[in-house]
Structure 1
């Protein structure tokens, strides 16, 4: 078995967890290649704002030597949390994240900014863009063959699957696939909010606004550059739009349907449905079984959503980054790569199972099943 000093390590996926892993490996003088199917860093929008927890994401950023730079980019004011009454839009007593386990220090940062910070920290050429992976084959000698969508292949001493919910690496370890949670988020966006949507901007404030009742919720988050990202959340069949006869590209029809679902809610809250600057993006929520575990296989492991996809309640990005830095640290401190992976999995698997259980329960509290 190779040591980390003379090993060939591949990370599949240039998301936050994979990049954090690569960064820490390079800090310790180790060689690593990140393969990403997207053609370039700006091939698609990177999503909304993230709160970096003191006990997870910020630990990872310190391990990566990037905590100071993160603090200059982050928005501490984004921790503000507002809960509103659905009928009156009046402010209710705070029922936001509990003030424990470092929850009082969760500054916000746009996902794209955080990803850019990690990318800029890597040696030039670390990320191979436009290299989509189709699968991984363990070779039985502790190494793995990485198969690419263009028909080529490369062998590595360790392949790290950091390729998200629909991981192409996961099948080398597990037959599990994500299942629909019964909850869908529909995303909408608002630009130049303080000028063009001043009422909404005042209602949302500097952080997150939530209104919920009857298995439905509206919430909105302040992003940087005057942008607010809103989510319309409800329980429905996975293909709810098909049953409703909706074309998701027909924003007018989707808006009309959603307004019926939220009939009776206060008009200021319905601004999130009526007046978005973007169309609507359907985001059904999926999760892996809890716990998601696998038999250790030399030469391959998983991190982030590939390992423990869970409802997006503020933990996923934090855990992915902690996974990445924990794995890298184990690889550079244990005698062999396999020892490092075993040490990492012994910590990550129980930690992620506990977090996934909590997120599943949290989703149930946020949007209780209508028959409960």
Structure 2
């Protein structure tokens, strides 16, 4: 089959995260039709996670191409760039406070960013409750999307923007994410200035990190007077079951954490045990490095589907930059095949280089001198 011109192609994006929605927005801005399919039953089906920072040299570039940068700055929290390094006693060892006009990587809650992107799309662009199962059809197209509800859709281009455990990835790559050996245990704190004033003072307006070489902690101020804390531990992927615990056994998990963090000061342990609601286990996975695939004229990937890395400050930013590069390639190419080649010629070397730098980076999260890794606020 001859590769179609993008203007006449049926373009399907799998996944309505920041990358997929950014790609769809820029395509529509440039007059190209696109449909987004997402497994969630609706836009409010689940919590979108904590805060993230969008960098001037990648995420913000994508928003500029999408025509949404000014609106982003109206929603963002520049004060969230504040970063504190704290030791297990609760002593602040370093403190980076942004200048009043600093806008290199302001924070925004994931939910606000998603709402911004969703609201910018033409009505009906996102088809909810469509969980991709498999992709069939010849490599040169057309492709057929098979959804878990038994429906199918024929398409000329599949853009896999469906995250770590992508269902689109197997069409081009046999790689699967591998557990890094490190897990985040997420804890939430609400109405912090009133109900958790000491924690709010310790964390400040941005992020605070601490570690002792064996275990760590990363806390982030979110919008709406919330703080999320991620307890960073080197544990087996099934540690909770192995300890005879269940996800809803908050008291049992809390007792275990008090034992593990016994050497930390009472002030620091507040961030470990005074949370509102249950803990959420988030094991950290990453794709093998390097990750690449042979060119396919009808399927490509972006974001975590293409290059899942440890949460060290690049995830959403790279996904949105990927999305912008791919959308612009489609807008300027004679055929879909040409566009994919142009996009992957830039994206693959960039992602491989970054992944090589970050390989094994989860171990840095446990080091006593914790780096500033605040990109997503969640794995």
Q: TM-score, normalised by structure 2?
A: 0.93
Q: Distance in 1 between matches of 2:28 and 2:137?
A: 25
Worse-superposed segment, 74-83 or 305-314: 305-314
- Per the alignment, residue 147 of structure 1 pairs with 146
- Once the two structures are TM-superposed, the CA of residue 141 in structure 1 deviates from its matched residue by 3.1
| Partner residue in 1 for 2:68 | 66
Distance 1:189 1:326 in 2: 35
Task: Give the aligned partner of residue 4 of structure 1.
Answer: 6
Matched, 1:194 2:196: no
Compute the displacement of 1:214 (Å). Answer: 1.9
Shift of 1:66: 0.3
Task: Tell me which residue corresponds to 1:93.
Answer: 94
Unaligned stretches of 5+ residues in structure 2: 369-379
Question: Which secondary structure state, in structure 2, belongs to the residue aligned with residue 43 of structure 1?
Answer: coil
Shift of 1:366: 2.1
Q: CA deviation at 1:274?
A: 1.8
Contact 2:82 / 2:96 at 8 angstroms: preserved in 1?
A: no
Partner of 1:93, secondary structure, is strand
Q: 2:59 aligns with which of 36, 57, 63?
A: 57
CA RMSD, 1 decimal: 1.8
SS at match of 1:241: helix
Q: Give the C-alpha shift of residue 258 in structure 1.
A: 1.0
Q: What CA distance in whole angstroms lies between the structure 1 residues aligned with 2:97 and 2:75?
A: 23
Q: Distance in 1 between matches of 2:194 and 2:265?
A: 22
Equivalent residue number for residue 162 of structure 1: 161
Structure-1 separation of matches of 2:82 and 2:361: 19
1:151–1:228 Cα change, 3 Å: same
The answer for the alignment partner of 1:23 in structure 2 is 25
- C-alpha distance in 1, partners of 2:144/2:17? 21
2:80 to 72, 78, 81: 78
Offset at 1:138? 3.8
In 1: Cα distance, 2:137 partner to 2:103 partner: 44
User: What is the TM-score of this pair, normalised by structure 1?
Assistant: 0.95
C-alpha displacement at 1:349, in angstroms? 0.8
Secondary structure in 2 aligned to 1:46? coil
Looking at structure 1, the residues matched to 284 and 329 of structure 2 have their Cα atoms a distance apart, in angstroms, of: 32
Counterpart Cα distance in 1 of 2:78 and 2:200: 17
Between the aligned partners of 1:95 and 1:367, the Cα distance in structure 2 is 20
After TM superposition, the structure 1 = structure 2 runs for residues 1-372 of structure 1, keeping only pairs within 5 Å, are: 1-86=3-88, 88-94=89-95, 105-367=104-366
Where do 4+ consecutive residues of structure 1 move more than 6 Å? Answer: none
Given that residues 185 and 283 in structure 1 are in contact (C-alpha distance below 8 angstroms), is that contact kept between their aligned partners in structure 2? yes
| Greater Cα shift, 266-275 or 114-123 | 266-275
Change (3 A) 1:96 1:250: farther
SS of the residue corresponding to residue 13 of structure 2 reads strand
Deviation per residue, 1:103-129 (Å, 9 max, x gap): 971100000000100000000000001
| Higher mean C-alpha displacement, 287-296 vs 135-144 | 135-144
- Equivalent pairs, count: 364
Query: 2:13 and 2:144 mapped to 1: Cα distance?
Result: 13
Instruction: Give the conservation status (yes or no) of the 8 Å contact 1:139–1:145.
Output: no
Secondary structure, aligned partner of 2:173:
coil
- In 1, Cα distance between the equivalents of 2:114 and 2:366? 30
1:100 alignment partner in structure 2? none
Q: Distance in 1 between matches of 2:247 and 2:34?
A: 40
Corresponding residue number in structure 1 for 2:374: none
| Aligned twin of 2:376 | none
Gaps of 5+ in 1: 98-102
